[in-house]
């Protein structure tokens, strides 16, 4: 999760987030090189005493400043399109979970288990145990098996919400009357925090998301316990 004074992204917890981090570094390097070139041109123009008022046109310059930006845009667009395809592709998920946004909590339905469904509310400050995080803990976590392809169906019951977990590289809008889907794989066991990322009313800041990734045998035990309590 995020730390105070953190400047970078959270540690990637899914292959998709790793791809996004690589693309960020790739795009940032291109932006840095362009900014350096522009700064150099500005400084050169300010400091030079050489002037030429008789150049009316230059075919060579026009060709360069047309082709070079096109090449740069292609270098950014190709990896971006690849990642967009990866984000949209859902192949043979091992588990499907439906997340429904409400004002101001989330509810989860494990569609492969007819009886597993629950609401997830933020824990108030007085109920937090030592070591837990303010405004981020919930009473029921979304438990998933680690290293398994998962599909998340996202919708809302009332207004617009957004189901977002930064460490997993997932941000999916929850729209009333519409069912959006995305997929991810947790690359390791752990607890990953997120929040609603679409302003949805007075208590928008109090809609945390907690995804707990556990080994398969622990997930099977958890699901069996949930079925007993249903």
Q: Spell out the domain ranges in the chain.
A: 15-50+58-88, 95-229
- Taking the CB of residue 100, how many other CB atoms lie within 10 A of it? 22
Average pLDDT over residues 24-49: 92
Q: What are phi and psi of 228, to 5 degrees?
A: -65, -35
Contact status, residue 109 vs residue 98, Cβ threshold 8 Å: yes
Please give the Cα distance from 168 to 174 (Å, whole number): 17
For residue 70, report the phi and psi dihedrals to the nearest 5 degrees: -65, -40
Helix (H, G, I), strand (E, B) or coil at 222: helix
- 21-24 contacts at long range (C-beta below 8 A, 24 or more positions apart): 22/79, 23/79, 23/80, 23/83
pLDDT confidence of residue 162: 96
Q: Which pLDDT score, from 0 to 100, does residue 1 have? A: 66
Could you read off the pLDDT of 79-138 as tens digits, one per residue? 999 998 888 877 889 999 999 999 999 999 998 888 899 999 999 998 888 888 999 999
pTM: 0.83
The two tokens of residue 151 are: 């599909």
Q: Is the omega angle on the peptide bond into residue 104 within 30 degrees of 0, that is, cis?
A: yes
What is the model's pLDDT at position 103? 93
Contact predicate 34/28, CB 8 Å = no
Is a pLDDT exceeding 80 seen at residue 186?
yes
Whether residue 35 is predicted with pLDDT greater than 70 in this model: the reply is yes
Beta strands in 4-145 (DSSP E): 95-102, 105-110, 117-120, 142-145
Residue pLDDT, tens place only, 44-65: 888 887 777 777 777 888 898 8
Strands (E), 31-141: 95-102, 105-110, 117-120
Q: What is the pLDDT of residue 230?
A: 62
| Topology of domain 95-229, CATH | Immunoglobulin-like (2.60.40)
Least confident of 40-54, 58-72, 174-188, 203-217: 40-54
Q: Over the stretch 127-169, which tens digit does the pLDDT of each residue have?
A: 888 888 999 999 999 999 999 999 999 999 999 999 999 999 9
CA dihedral over 140, 131, 203, 8, signed as positive or negative: negative
- Percent of the chain scoring above 90 in pLDDT: 69
């Amino acid at each position: 999760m995020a730390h105070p004074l953190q400047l970078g992204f959270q540690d990637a917890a899914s292959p998709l987030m790793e791809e996004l981090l690589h693309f960020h570094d790739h795009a940032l390097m291109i932006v840095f090189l362009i900014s350096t070139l522009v700064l150099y041109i500005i400084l050169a123009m300010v400091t030079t005493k050489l002037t030429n008022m008789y150049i009316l046109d230059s075919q060579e310059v026009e060709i360069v400043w047309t082709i070079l930006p096109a090449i740069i845009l292609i270098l950014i667009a190709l990896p971006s399109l690849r990642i967009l395809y990866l984000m949209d592709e859902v192949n043979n998920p091992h588990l499907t979970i439906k997340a429904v946004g409400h004002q101001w909590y989330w509810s989860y339905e494990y569609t492969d288990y007819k009886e597993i469904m629950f609401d997830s509310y933020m824990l108030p400050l007085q109920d937090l145990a030592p070591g837990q995080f303010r405004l981020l803990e919930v009473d029921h976590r979304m438990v998933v098996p680690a290293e398994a392809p998962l599909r998340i169906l996202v919708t809302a019951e009332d207004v617009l919400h957004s189901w977002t977990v930064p460490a997993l590289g997932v941000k999916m809008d929850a729209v009333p009357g519409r069912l959006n889907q995305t997929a991810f794989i947790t690359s390791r066991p752990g607890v990953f925090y997120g929040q609603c990322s679409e302003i949805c009313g007075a208590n928008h800041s109090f809609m945390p998301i907690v995804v707990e990734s556990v080994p398969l045998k622990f997930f099977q035990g958890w699901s069996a316990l949930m079925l007993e309590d249903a």
